[in-house]
A and B are shown apart, each in its own frame.
Chain A
Amino acid sequence: MRGAIKPARHGAQAWRVGLQVLLAAVIGGLIYGAFINAADNLARTHISSGFGFWNNSAGFDISQTLIPYSPGISTFGRAFWVGLLNTLFVAALGIVLATLLGFTIGIARLSRNWLVARLAGFYVELIRNIPLLLQLLFWYNAVLKSLPELRDSIVLPMGGFLNNRGLFLPRPVFAPGFSAVIAALLVGIGAAIVLQVWARRRRKRSGAPTPVGRWIAALLVGLPLAALALAGFPVAFELPQMSRFNVVGGLEILPEFAALVVALSVYTAAFIAEVVRAGILAVAAGQTEAAQALGLRSGTTLRLIVVPQAVRVMVPPLTSQYLNLTKNSSLAVAIGYPDLVQVFAGSVLNITGQAVEVIAITMAVYLTISLFTSLVMNLYGRMTAIVER
């Protein structure tokens, strides 16, 4: 559409250039002014500037670390990576759960079963219209914090505990032989892909139905299981031990983490459900009718006709929901889960006082994730654009 509006008068060219120069000058002036003021204010409050703090040791503890971190020894840079990994971890888990829940509910909304459709609609309306922060606080303060005290812990089967300090599960300890199982799993995945490609080619070439689902399942599940048995079950479980004041050992899932994952997945699932519903409805009814006219059964119609077309519509909004989830994980700061914002824009900022650098780094991380995702999306859009004949 750009270019539709041409300057109406001749000789407007100079004016247009002038306007842009003026705009650039105003913006530049504002930035320069802000810079002068910032230098002035920083000098007065004796806050150093630059990124030198990155290698200074951070004196604070972090409650959940995926990589080794020790207060007093590890650097602020290390704390940054801990926070970033925690953010990515919670986002990844949230994305998986939200997708599963969201697809279920989105499909349920289109169900011919009145009750199922209504329940799914109720879920979507309820969840979408209540702020995420409120839901997060609810899960954290009203649900998880009201679990029993340590001494009245709920004892789970297999030696786990659940109390208001978190969920304590047996931790798998892998013996060296476990790498064989992972290798078997990788081989299984590879073989399954090859099999699937072969089956599809065969079907396209000869039209003969080539059901390989069972074989793929066997490859994916059976191969690792067989390796596990052959290697003599090289995995042991370290059980959490309840002592008087705390629980030692085992795998500890913080209530902050659990609350964040639950809140993010429940909230985002409502939006994903809408994306899924819109995506399925976007497939023209004639497509389904044509498939039925060709004698395809409803399952096959769904798998071969509706889903491939719906996915193309669904992927861009779905990605933007995933991005929203990742950005929303910054709400962790409200309940004290050590994500990037809490660790970096919280603790590190408070200790160093270097607001400009710390906020800039934090924003740069989210910006990188967003821009990278939209780049991938643009490529995807170009790849899947319908070629008009």
Chain B
Amino acid sequence: MAVIADTPVLYVRTAPAEQLLPPPASSGLIGWLRANLFSSFGNTVLTLACAALILWAVPPLLRFLFIDAVWSGSDREVCLASSAHLEPGACWAFVRVWLSYFVYGFYPIPGRWRVDVFFAALAFGIGWLAWLSAPRRDLGAVYFFIVLPVLSVVLLYGFPAIGLPTVPTNLWGGVLVTIVVATVGIVASLPIGILLALGRRSELPAVRWLAIGFIEFVRGVPLITVLFMASVMLPLFVPQRLEPDKLLRALIGVAVFASAYTAEVVRGGLAAVPRGQYEAARALALTYWPTMGLVILPQALRVTLPNIVNTFIGLFKDTTLVFVVGIFDFLRTIEAARGDPKWATPVTATTGYAFAALFYFIFCYGMSRYARSVEARLSRSDRR
């Protein structure tokens, strides 16, 4: 025993072993690549196929959009294939020349500041409402749903008494019309949609069935037929002297269409409000409208804001359909400019569409990011 006790124990460590790095194949860049791209034979094949797809598609696209693109010029000559320019790229010169038409249509040039002021006022209103911790958002809602519409009509259509000459709507065009249609759609559809959603949940049968009939009818037919209806049937249904102008008819069609979709989204929000909230409101002796206005709707709209934004994205994309009833929205102005013989080249159409796609993508993607951030914020506050 003593012998063992005296000999130093060589196989027991007195200090911790030095930490080893993880094997290179399972960490760092290589590890990540192995885990995410080359974890098995099938995965490797997929990765290589995707890489091939990217290599096949991206360089020609970049060449077309940027490297071979023509950025300035005054007519089609610069965008045609020539000895100096074998593979013509995007003809951005065409977009530059026509840009003011794309934005304002035929809106008279001296009055275009009015359009700019309208854009600024609208952006201000949207910012006020979209920024969730902005001060006085109730005032923002009043501004957006009451002040802004009046201001817009005065600015855009004109009010000769204060020195703004009338600009008939057939001169409006481009981004202006796209924004006007989308904005009218949301401004009109939100209040109407809320009323319809409440109507659909009402216990008065006449109200309920009217709301259900309207919502299901509109949601069951394509927007194009609603627009056709607004543009050819509406003039029949009103006395001749009241015949609405073409843009107004399309706006009515879009508002009707959007209301039905907003109603369904709001209904989803109403259903998400717990029953106890209704009962608590009743216990406080609140009648119907105070219950809805003070207790239920504020909660329902808060939950449903992301869905409202998503509906609005759909509406924004759908504004392109006013095209079929002869309104010159942004896409239609591109179609019109594309036909200009001065710029007729094989790449004009693609360039115009690429520009339009960029415009719509930036707006829609921006809105969907916003909707997602609101959703994340809401789910954070629910987790507390």
What residues of chain A have their CB less than 8 Å away from a CB belonging to chain B? 1-9, 16, 19-21, 23-24, 27, 33-34, 37-38, 40-42, 44, 111-116, 119, 125-126, 128-134, 137-138, 141-142, 145-146, 327-328, 330-331, 333-334, 341, 345, 349, 355-356, 359, 362-363, 366-367, 369-371
Q: Which residues of A contact B201 (CB under 8 A)?
A: 1-2
In the complex, the answer to whether B222 meets A341 with C-beta atoms within 8 Å is yes
Q: Which residues of B contact A142 (CB under 8 A)?
A: 349-350, 353
Complex CA gap A129/B370 in Å reads: 14
Complex CA gap A20/B210 in Å reads: 10
The verdict on A4 contacting B324 (CB below 8 Å), with A115-B50, A366-B221 known, is: no
| 8 Å CB contact of A367 from B210, B217, B288, B331 | B217
| 8 Å CB contact of A134 from B223, B275, B320 | B320
Q: Which residues of B contact A119 (CB under 8 A)?
A: 50, 53-54
| 8 Å CB contact of A131 from B51, B217, B317 | B317
Complex CA gap A363/B239 in Å reads: 24
In the complex, the answer to whether A1 meets B271 with C-beta atoms within 8 Å is yes
Q: Which 4 interchain pairs have the tightest Cβ spacing?
A: A370-B220, A20-B206, A129-B364, A34-B237
Q: Which residues of A contact B164 (CB under 8 A)?
A: none
In the complex, the answer to whether A114 meets B224 with C-beta atoms within 8 Å is no
Q: Which residues of A contact B50 (CB under 8 A)?
A: 113, 115-116, 119
Q: What's the nearest-Cβ distance from chain A to residue B257, in Å?
A: 11
The residue on B at minimum CB distance from A120 is B50
**29 A-B pairs (CB sep. < 8 Å):** A2-B201, A2-B203, A3-B203, A4-B275, A7-B288, A8-B286, A8-B288, A19-B204, A21-B206, A23-B207, A34-B237, A38-B237, A113-B46, A115-B46, A119-B54, A129-B364, A131-B360, A134-B331, A141-B353, A146-B346, A327-B223, A341-B222, A341-B225, A345-B225, A355-B236, A356-B233, A362-B228, A366-B221, A370-B219
The residue on A at minimum CB distance from B367 is A129
Complex CA gap A334/B335 in Å reads: 11
Q: What's the nearest-Cβ distance from chain B to residue A133, in Å?
A: 4
The verdict on A333 contacting B286 (CB below 8 Å), with A1-B275, A113-B46 known, is: no
In the complex, the answer to whether B220 meets A359 with C-beta atoms within 8 Å is no
Complex CA gap A116/B88 in Å reads: 32
In the complex, the answer to whether B236 meets A133 with C-beta atoms within 8 Å is no
In the complex, the answer to whether B221 meets A327 with C-beta atoms within 8 Å is yes
Q: Which residues of B contact A8 (CB under 8 A)?
A: 282, 285-288
Question: Which residues B30-58 have CB closer than 8 A to chain A?
Answer: 36-37, 39, 43, 46-47, 50-51, 53-54
Question: Which residues B323-356 have CB closer than 8 A to chain A?
Answer: 323-324, 331, 335, 338, 346, 349-350, 353, 356
In the complex, the answer to whether A371 meets B220 with C-beta atoms within 8 Å is yes
Q: What's the nearest-Cβ distance from chain B to residue A32, in Å?
A: 11
What residues of chain B have their CB less than 8 Å away from a CB belonging to chain A? 36-37, 39, 43, 46-47, 50-51, 53-54, 201, 203-207, 210, 216-217, 219-225, 228-229, 232-233, 235-240, 270-271, 275, 278-279, 282, 285-288, 291, 313, 317-318, 320-321, 323-324, 331, 335, 338, 346, 349-350, 353, 356-357, 360-361, 364-365, 368
Instruction: Count contacts between A and B, CB distance < 8 Å.
Output: 178
Q: What's the nearest-Cβ distance from chain B to residue A248, in Å?
A: 28
Complex CA gap A131/B361 in Å reads: 9
Complex CA gap A40/B349 in Å reads: 45
In the complex, the answer to whether A349 meets B232 with C-beta atoms within 8 Å is yes
| 8 Å CB contact of A113 from B47, B210, B279, B318 | B47
Q: Which residues of B contact A131 (CB under 8 A)?
A: 317-318, 320, 331, 360
Complex CA gap A143/B323 in Å reads: 21
In the complex, the answer to whether A333 meets B324 with C-beta atoms within 8 Å is yes
The verdict on A363 contacting B53 (CB below 8 Å), with A2-B201, A134-B360, A141-B349 known, is: no
Q: Which residues of A contact B203 (CB under 8 A)?
A: 2-3, 5
In the complex, the answer to whether A113 meets B43 with C-beta atoms within 8 Å is yes
In the complex, the answer to whether A115 meets B37 with C-beta atoms within 8 Å is yes
In the complex, the answer to whether B237 meets A37 with C-beta atoms within 8 Å is yes
Complex CA gap A113/B36 in Å reads: 5
In the complex, the answer to whether B275 meets A327 with C-beta atoms within 8 Å is no
The verdict on A363 contacting B221 (CB below 8 Å), with A113-B36, A334-B323, A355-B236 known, is: yes
Complex CA gap A9/B285 in Å reads: 9
Q: Which residues of A contact B37 (CB under 8 A)?
A: 113-115
A131-B360, A146-B349 are known contacts; what are 8 more A-B pairs with Cβ within 8 Å?
A1-B201, A8-B286, A115-B50, A119-B54, A130-B364, A138-B357, A334-B324, A345-B228
In the complex, the answer to whether A366 meets B225 with C-beta atoms within 8 Å is yes
In the complex, the answer to whether B224 meets A333 with C-beta atoms within 8 Å is yes
Q: Which residues of A contact B361 (CB under 8 A)?
A: 126, 129-130
